[in-house]
Amino acid sequence: MPNDDLTLLREYSRSHSESAFASLVERHVNLVHSVALRQVHDPHLAEDVTQAVFIILARKAGTLGGNTILSGWLCRVTRYVSCRALRGEWRRQQREQEAYMQSTLNEPPSETWMQIAPLLDAAMEKLDRKDHDALVLRFLKTRISRKLGWHWERVKTPPGCV
C-alpha cells in the first residue's frame, strides 16, 4: 500500500480505490476537523464542513498538481468551506428573523401598542426636524417597507468572512 499522500491521491483518482481514499481521510480528518472547529465554533457545523472538504477532495483528486502539499490544501479548502458554512448559517438566521418580523407585522396591534402609540407620536412631534427624519427613516420606514415586502438593507457578510 502506498504511504505518501500524492501516491494515495493518484491511486484514488486513477482507480477510485476506496482504501486509498480511506487512508487519506484517516490521515487528515483530525486536521480538517480542528481547522473547521476553530473557524465555525460549532461541533456539528464543523462535522458538516469536514465532510464537505473530503467530498471536494474526492472530486478534485485528479486535478491536484504533483507539487501540492495536501495538508496545506486541505487547510485552505477547510477555511473556505467554513466561511461558506458561516455565511449560510448567517443567511438562514436572517431569513428566520425576517420571517418572524413578517409574522409580527401581520398581527393585530396589541393593547400595549395602542397605549404607547399616542405617546410615541407626541414624543416624535417634540423632536427637531433632523432627529425626527432620522428616526422615521431608520425605524418607521423600514417597518412599513418590510410590511410591503421591500428590502432596503443590503445583505452583509457574516462575522469571520471576508
Tell me the whole-structure pTM to 2 decimals: 0.62
Question: Is 57 in contact with 77 (CB distance < 8 Å)?
Answer: yes
**3 state SS of 69:** coil
| Dihedral sign (CA 31, 36, 41, 46) | negative
**pLDDT tens-place values along the chain, 162 residues long:** 345 898 999 999 899 999 999 999 999 999 999 999 999 999 999 999 999 999 999 999 888 888 889 999 999 999 999 999 999 999 998 888 888 877 766 666 678 878 888 888 889 889 998 888 888 887 766 554 444 444 444 445 555 555
Question: Is 46 in contact with 40 (CB distance < 8 Å)?
Answer: yes
Q: Which residues contact 160 (CB under 8 A, 6 or more apart)?
A: 39, 83, 86
Grid cell for residue 139: 425605524
pLDDT of residue 18: 93
